[in-house]
Amino acid sequence: MSAWTAVNAAQASLEMESVQLGPRPFWLVADMDESPLKTRLQACDIRNVKAADFSIGHRGAPLQFPEHTRESYIAAARMGAGIVECDVAFTKDRELVCRHAQNDLHTTTNIVTVPQLNAKCTQPFVPADPATGTPAKAECRTSDITLAEFRSLEGKMDAFDPMATTPQEYLGGTADWRTDLYASRGTLMTHRESIELFQELGVKFTPELKSPVVKMPFEGEYSQQDYARQMIQDYVDAGVKPGHVWPQSFNLEDVLFWVNQTPRFGEQAVFLDEAAPTPANSSLAHMEELKSRGVNIIAPALWKMLAPGQNGDIVPSDYAQNARKAGLDMIAWTVERSGPLAEGGGWYYQTVSDAIDNDGDMLEVIDVLAKDVGVIGIFSDWPATTTFYANCMGLTGKSH
Q: What is the secondary structure of 224-258 as a DSSP string?
A: HHHHHHHHHHHHHHTT--GGGB--EES-HHHHHHH
Domain 3-86+189-392 classified CATH 3.20.20.70? Answer: no
- Residue 10: is its pLDDT beyond 80? no
25 vs 211: CA distance, rounded Å: 34
- Whole-number pLDDT of residue 18: 84
In Å, the largest CA–CA distance within the chain is: 60
Residue 3: pLDDT above 90? no
Could you give the C-alpha distances from 194 to 97, 98, 317, in angstroms and in order? 9, 8, 35
> Pick from 111, 1, 28: which is nearest to 387 by CA?
28
> Using 50, 70 and 90 to split pLDDT, how confident is the model at 16?
low
Q: What is the spatial distance between Cα 310 and Cα 321, in angstroms, rounded to a whole number?
A: 17
pTM, to two decimals:
0.95
With beta carbons less than 8 A apart as the criterion, state whether 325 and 284 touch.
yes
3-class DSSP state of 154: strand
Write out the residue limits of the CATH 3.20.20.190 domain(s) in the chain: 3-86+189-392
Contact predicate 218/212, CB 8 Å: yes
- Mean pLDDT computed over every residue of the chain: 95
C-alpha distances in angstroms, 63 versus 38, 60, 128, 247, 389?
24, 9, 28, 23, 18
| Least confident interval from 13-27, 202-216, 381-395 | 13-27
Sign of torsion over alpha carbons 117, 120, 123, 124: positive
